[in-house]
Amino acid sequence: MTDPLHELIEHSLDFTVHAAAVTPIQAPHSTGWRVLPELVVALPCAGARVRLEIDGGPILHLDDGEAFCVAGGIRHRATLTTARGVSRWCHIAYRILGGLDPLQLVVPAFVVPAPQGRRVGAICSDLARLATAPTGIASAVRRRALGFELLALILAQSPSSPGAISRMQALHRLAPILVMIGRDLPRGGPSIPALASAAAVSRSRLHALFRTALGRSPLQHILACRLRLAQHLLIGSDLAVAAVAARAGFGDAFHFSRTFHRVCGESPSDYRRRSLAGQA
């Protein structure tokens, strides 16, 4: 990996906290099956037993002091089976190079063991407190420090994915293109000829770079970004479904709902209801 790539990643790494809270819960409690657009991390109440189910993957059992973390786009369900108390949690979206989730470059862990898990819970509590604190330089610096510490705790449990270096090198080439895609999402995203022209490569070379870096075609990536934006709007705003469709660059609400259901497995309205019912 070259020094310029290190610098590009360091300078572009950022995050947004979409929700954070300390929530009283008691058994039996379940988030229900859900697919969130961003990373969710949570430290269940002290002494609790939690079952974390990953759709198509393992069933994990968390003990006292262990936190769970599930990357965006993964269908999962967390169930509190014993105890009562408070859950410390947050939904947070990390991004590099204009919008890429850095967790796509690793094999993300689902469990952060104690005592690091307890630190995850403390960070979630502090982020929730800072969400209502007076704005200012000190609180902004503290928020950024906490967000980056949280990512470091998760990455410490997450080995690099195969081919991570090649993927990052391809991402280096795509960096301005990814920024361009994020900027044009409300208009449906840029065309493939426009992307190829901006990158000064052929369409076939552009396709190859996307496959290496992201494991999907440019069109698939643009659609995924538009749907992720729609998921954020459905959870984080009270906009009508038609308005969400327009903000995410879909031509009409019917096409948006049909595409959302095909990819996410449920209608936008059902997704909003299920996500808001089991945020903790």
Find out whether 267 and 10 touch, Cβ atoms under 8 Å. Answer: no
Q: What is the pLDDT of residues 169-181, one digit of tens each?
A: 788 788 888 888 8
Q: Phi and psi (nearest 5°) for 51?
A: -105, 120
Asked, as a colleague might, if the bond just before 134 is cis with ω within 30 of 0, I would say: no
H or E segment to which residue 36 belongs: none
Find out whether 175 and 100 touch, Cβ atoms under 8 Å. Answer: no
Closest CA to 266 of 71, 63, 33, 47: 33
Task: Report all structural domains of the chain as residue ranges with CATH numbers, in order of start.
Answer: 13-155 (2.60.120.280), 164-277 (1.10.10.60)
pLDDT reported for residue 55? 93
**How far apart are the C-alpha atoms of 242 and 220, rounded to whole Å?**
22
Residue 277 confidence class, pLDDT cut points 50, 70, 90: low
Is the pLDDT at 106 greater than 80? The verdict is yes
pLDDT reported for residue 174? 86
pLDDT reported for residue 1? 46
* Rounded mean pLDDT, 95-108: 78
Q: What is the pLDDT of residues 8-48, one digit of tens each?
A: 677 788 999 988 999 998 888 888 888 888 899 999 888 88
Question: In the block, which residue shows the tokens 């948006």?
Answer: 256
Residue 4 confidence class, pLDDT cut points 50, 70, 90: low
